[in-house]
Amino acid sequence: MSPEQFAGKQAGELITPAENTWCPGCGNFAIQHMMKSAVAELSEEEGIPLENFVLLGGIGCHGKLVDYLTINSFYGIHGRSIPAATGMRLANPDLKIICHVGDGDIYAEGLDHLIFAAKRNSDITVIVHDNRVYGLTTGQYTPTSPFGFRGRSTPGGITEHPLNPLEVMLAAGATHIARGYTKKIRHLKDLFKEAIMHRGFSFIDVLQICATYFNLTDYYNIHAYEMQESDVETGRFESALGKIREWDYDRDAPIALGTFYSVEKPIYEEKFQALTAGKPDRRALVRKVIEEWR
């Protein structure tokens, strides 16, 4: 049995009995299945036990993903997955911790956590289901909706321009930055695997189709392209910045897919690891500290 077949079989067993309630045509299916395959393949290829993976979900259509996979999960609250993920990584360095978050979830409600996790190079993976609209609350604009977007809370069209989340992440200190697209699923899976295996903070903005409220399939199919190795020097900040600025989520431009930036830096959680190593008798340590006061 080849590894691929084995992984495929294993992946098939990762589906829970929970009823899937995404709309037909939703980009979340692609993310779910590629995540499932990425985890199964990494488990097989890298020897990472399945029980060492943890998925986190925020609140929004994206979050349902964690209910659909038989993988450890923390289905948390809107915008707050990232600090919980850092806590898990602090507690157990063997865990592979993957945050599934939405664009409203993490670019609006929880942007502070996203920026700080990048700044401290927390060893977690953040995958943004960026459909550029609020789905579960039925169609309002998000921080990546383009100028003029007419949502239910902004029927006259928004007068603000979107964030370029990749540029924000680069400025904040993220050590691995990529963009995927839910219609390019094999590419997406490879991006997932690469990000999960990155040592440090890894970030993927996934352009995700919202079939109901903001279907950009045709637009993305025309503008998106997979980067070649020669398109960007992923170890150079300036090169990554230039490529990231090629498209600003607003005006028409080619939309590059792939890894923009990937460097190694010290990991936040590592310096804390030694503090709680072993099984110290803390009660004896408490007594010692009190004794020293006398």
Interface residues with other proteins (CB under 8 A) are: 16-18, 49, 51-54, 59, 64, 66-67, 70-77, 80, 82-92, 94-95, 112-113, 116, 272, 275-276, 278, 280, 282-283, 285-290, 293-294
What distance in Å separates the CA atoms of residue 257 and residue 251, rounded to the nearest whole number?
17
CB of 119 to other proteins, least distance (A): 9
What distance in Å separates the CA atoms of residue 61 and residue 67, rounded to the nearest whole number?
11
Q: Which residues contact 263 (CB under 8 A, 6 or more apart)?
A: 175, 176, 234, 235
How many residues are recorded in the chain?
Answer: 294
Give the nearer residue to other proteins in terms of CB position, either 89 or 198. 89
Tokens in use for 100? 């599934």
Which region holds residue 79: left if phi is over 0, alpha if psi is between -120 and 50, else beta? left
Give the nearer residue to other proteins in terms of CB position, either 17 or 155. 17
Q: Judge whether 71 and 53 are in contact, CB under 8 Å.
A: yes
DSSP string, 220-253: HHHHEEEPPGGG--TT-HHHHHHHHTT--SSS--
CB of 127 to other proteins, least distance (A): 17
Give the nearer residue to other proteins in terms of CB position, either 100 or 113. 113
CB of 79 to other proteins, least distance (A): 8
Give the nearer residue to other proteins in terms of CB position, either 6 or 116. 116
CB of 83 to other proteins, least distance (A): 4
In this structure, the dihedral spanned by the alpha carbons of residues 172, 258, 84 and 66, taken in order and rounded to 10 degrees, is 160
Distance of CA 202 to the CA centre of its chain: 7
Q: Judge whether 227 and 256 are in contact, CB under 8 Å.
A: yes
Exposure on the CB side of residue 279, measured as CA atoms within 13 A: 0
| Radius of gyration for the chain, computed over Cα atoms and rounded to the nearest angstrom | 20
CB of 85 to other proteins, least distance (A): 6
CB of 107 to other proteins, least distance (A): 16
Give the nearer residue to other proteins in terms of CB position, either 84 or 195. 84
CB of 49 to other proteins, least distance (A): 7
DSSP string, 102-133: EHIIIIIITHHHHHHHHHTT-S-EEEEEE-SS
Give the nearer residue to other proteins in terms of CB position, either 35 or 71. 71
Give the nearer residue to other proteins in terms of CB position, either 29 or 220. 29
CB of 251 to other proteins, least distance (A): 32
Give the nearer residue to other proteins in terms of CB position, either 72 or 140. 72
